[in-house]
Amino acid sequence: MTAAAPIRRRGWPAFDKAAGGLAADLTLYAASAGFAAVTTLTSALDPHRAWGGVATAGYLAATVAVTAQLLIWRRRPGSPLAGLPTRWAVTGLAAAATVLLPMIWQSVERAGGRVDRAQEEVIVVEESGRRLIETGSPYLSHDAIAALPPSEQLLGYTPYQPGMALFGLPRAAVDTALTDARVWFALATAATLVLAARTLWRAGTFDPYQPGGGILRGVQAATVLPVSALTLATGGDDLPVLALCLLALTLAAGGRPGRAGVAVGLAAALKLFAWPVAVVLVVWGAARRSGRRVLAGALGLPAVVLLPILLVDRDALIENVLRFPLGQGLVASPAQSPFPGHLIATALPAGRLLAVGLLLAVGLAIAVRLAHRPPRTAAAASLVCGYGLLVALLLMPTSRFGYLLYPLAFLAWAPALARPESANHPRSWRTRRTPEG
């Protein structure tokens, strides 16, 4: 018998595997250093420029470290200094230098009186926590926002789900660097990502052909990728939402629909961006006859969080969570990155209606696709979330560059969720739990 020909991988899988994963690492850190340097020189936002100055040095240090690893790999491919544990160590150091260090530095300076060391969402979340304690609702009503000076009306809006206000509670109690909402965003994100990565690693579901099984690449996308690092260091409210969604997809890969529903339900109780992921996971569960178990957490948790706020002030909830994001508030949203949807909305006659129409058409196409070809694996669900959100973000009339962290992380996480075809895999989910368990 002749030996089977080795599988030749092309495109991204081949590049991801090249030089034991070090080639992609080097590209990531070098390109990120360039992005951070450009941010320092060109950004109009003070927190972003401050982040870029620190992050550039961190990314350059990681680039030097990976270059040394690559040289070692070429001489001794099996050296531990070029292996996966060392790559994880470099990733950890890069995250510390590009996320934790600038975040702590800005938090300390802000506590010392600097007013240009946090993005508006940090202030908004902390104020929502204070209002939650004082009034039982994190939202101001339409009339209360209208009574504010025009320069303060934007910060009067809280376009998040009620659960996000929990991250503002520490600041409501005491004003210190450690109670900065970004610190709690970071802690929640780190704990959730560790749980997700540990779950995948221990289960052994990673693709043996990929260095790190995609887990490392997914963690890099959610932490040290500039769009994620910059967001967490200067704002940060999107990262806990993203991490919970990744955990939900991880639990789905393990055939745990109930827990997956709880994880994505927690994310949906924080921000609307998790709701499309919840829909995809419900469809995934329905394809496996577990839709109700996913739906219980995915819908139940946001409902439990929303109900008390509805009873306290329904108008304030609608004004903040629906009217403002849809462009019907007293002030316009500052989310105006030059994506196609925004350019169409601002440059063409009736452009906003056209952009909304295109967005609805894409949503309908995705819904049809889900109905006829529902994702039957967590990896497929992650890809649907990634590509679907990417197209939606590009077509939204108002969007932010930072929102790209969602689709990029979902696409990077998908390979880690792919279940190996090998029947003798040593620690497969299939041997631990049934798909319905």
Q: Is 260 part of any domain?
A: yes
Enter the pTM of the model.
Answer: 0.88
Q: Are residues 70 and 163 in the same domain?
A: no
Q: To which residue do tokens 């497929």 refer?
A: 380
**Cβ-based neighbours of 333, under 8 Å, separated by 6 or more:** 159, 324, 325, 327, 398
Backbone angles phi, psi at 428, to 5 degrees: -80, 145
Q: What is the rounded end-to-end Cα distance, in angstroms, of the chain?
A: 41
Q: Of 297, 317, 332, which residue is a domain's last?
A: 332
Q: Are residues 145 and 218 in the same domain?
A: yes
Q: To which residue do tokens 């052994």 refer?
A: 204
- pLDDT of the residue at 417: 86
| Residue in 85, 38, 35 with CA at minimum distance from that of residue 63 | 35
Q: Is 372 part of any domain?
A: no
Angle among Cα 355, 357, 361 to the nearest 5 degrees reads: 120
Q: Of 117, 142, 174, which residue is a domain's last?
A: 117
| Residue in 268, 217, 216 with CA at minimum distance from that of residue 242 | 268
Q: Are residues 221 and 314 in the same domain?
A: yes
| Residue in 278, 220, 277, 252 with CA at minimum distance from that of residue 98 | 220
Q: Is 376 part of any domain?
A: no
Q: Is 2 part of any domain?
A: no
Q: Are residues 87 and 145 in the same domain?
A: no
Number of independent structural domains in the chain: 2
User: In whole angstroms, what is the distance from residue 26 CA to residue 20 CA?
Assistant: 11
Q: Are residues 81 and 177 in the same domain?
A: no
- pLDDT of the residue at 329: 81
- pLDDT of the residue at 12: 67
Centroid of chain to Cα 35: 19
Report the chain (437 residues): mean pLDDT per 10 consecutive residues: 47 76 92 96 92 96 95 87 89 95 94 89 94 93 92 91 95 92 95 88 54 74 92 92 95 90 96 93 91 92 92 91 83 76 80 84 90 92 94 83 89 81 39 38
- pLDDT of the residue at 168: 95
| Residue 124 and residue 158 in contact, taking contact as beta carbons nearer than 8 Å | yes
**Cβ-based neighbours of 279, under 8 Å, separated by 6 or more:** 370
Q: Is 350 part of any domain?
A: no
Q: Is 213 part of any domain?
A: yes
| Residue in 272, 334, 275, 335 with CA at minimum distance from that of residue 299 | 275
- pLDDT of the residue at 418: 78
Which pair of structure tokens corresponds to residue 376? 């039957």
Angle among Cα 93, 170, 174 to the nearest 5 degrees reads: 110
Q: Are residues 125 and 98 in the same domain?
A: no
Burial of 1-10, coded b for 16+ CB within 10 Å and e otherwise, reads eeeeeeeeee
Q: Are residues 224 and 84 in the same domain?
A: no
Q: Of 117, 152, 170, which residue is a domain's last?
A: 117
User: In whole angstroms, what is the distance from residue 294 CA to residue 432 CA?
Assistant: 20
264-291 pLDDT, tens digit each: 999 999 999 899 999 999 999 999 888 8
Range of the domain at 44: 12-117
| Residue in 67, 24, 23, 59 with CA at minimum distance from that of residue 38 | 59
Q: Are residues 217 and 325 in the same domain?
A: yes
Q: Are residues 183 and 265 in the same domain?
A: yes
Q: Are residues 111 and 126 in the same domain?
A: no
- pLDDT of the residue at 355: 83
Q: Is 307 part of any domain?
A: yes
| Residue in 158, 154, 107 with CA at minimum distance from that of residue 131 | 158
Q: Are residues 85 and 172 in the same domain?
A: no
Q: Is 105 part of any domain?
A: yes
Q: Are residues 94 and 198 in the same domain?
A: no
